[in-house]
Structure 1
Amino acid sequence: MKKRTLQALCAATVVGFMLTPLSAAVAEELRMSLKDQAQRSAQEDLPRNGLSESSVENRWGQPQSVTGPVGDPPIYQWHYQNFTVYFEGNRVIHSVLSQDR
């Protein structure tokens, strides 16, 4: 009985090690330097948190596209050429540079 249990345990261990690389190969890793992103954000003229929709529109013009509302509270996205602005209701909650720059 002990021999069968040991064989089953060894077989399960071997199968586990064989399947591990397969699951790791499927994963995708995104490497992004936070320092570089922070420096770019500091250099860019992006809408700041708390600005109203009208203030953003007066300063940066009409967005290229608008997404939303999504969820509760409603979240909107205004897409510009170089960045995206996220609104909760009428106020900016986050601005993000586009990655394609």
Structure 2
Amino acid sequence: MTFRLFPLLAALALAVVASSATADTLLMERTQKESAMALPTRGMSMNQVESRYGTPRSKLDPRGGNKPQHPVINRWEYDNFIVYFERTHVIDAVAKRADASELGPKPVN
């Protein structure tokens, strides 16, 4: 019985390794494309971001701020990226997708 399970487990392990290798490649490609985009940089003020990139598509409701160790986090959504602010300064900017052909994660059913 153990000998029947071995080929199944080996095939499963191979499938997992192959899929993770593909994911790593896609992540590396996305990182390269993202680094080529002109995103807001850490430390820029809200005024600097708005003057350089224009008015955001939406300014999402702030989160946090209930304790000194949990500062207010603001998120501004642009067409191709989202900017995260701690209080009034950029802490990160993330591309929504690297290009129009990117599929992204599968939706959760």
Separation in 2, partners of 1:98, 1:76: 17
Find 1:36's aligned residue among 10, 15, 29.
Answer: 29
In angstroms, what is the RMSD of aligned CA positions? 1.9
Separation in 1, partners of 2:64, 2:77: 18
Find 2:73's aligned residue among 72, 75, 80.
Answer: 75
Q: Where does structure 2 lack aligned partners over 5 or more consecutive residues?
A: 1-22, 66-70, 101-109
CA displacement at 1:61 relative to structure 2: 0.3
Amino acid at match of 2:84: Y
CA displacement at 1:74 relative to structure 2: 0.7
Give the aligned partner of residue 6 of structure 1: none
CA displacement at 1:37 relative to structure 2: 2.3
Separation in 2, partners of 1:55, 1:74: 19
Give the aligned partner of residue 22 of structure 1: none
Separation in 1, partners of 2:27, 2:62: 29
Percent identity, aligned pairs only, is 39
CA displacement at 1:84 relative to structure 2: 0.4
Alignment size in residue pairs: 72
Tell whether 2:62 aligns with 1:62.
no
Return the index of the structure with the highest Cα Rg. 1
Find 1:91's aligned residue among 77, 86, 89.
Answer: 89
> What TM-score comes out, normalization by structure 2 length?
0.60
Amino acid at match of 2:39: L
| Runs of 4+ residues deviating >2 angstroms | 31-34
CA displacement at 1:89 relative to structure 2: 0.6
Amino acid at match of 1:98: K
Separation in 1, partners of 2:77, 2:44: 16
CA displacement at 1:41 relative to structure 2: 1.6
> What TM-score comes out, normalization by structure 1 length?
0.64
CA displacement at 1:92 relative to structure 2: 0.2
Give the secondary structure class of the aligned counterpart of 1:69: strand
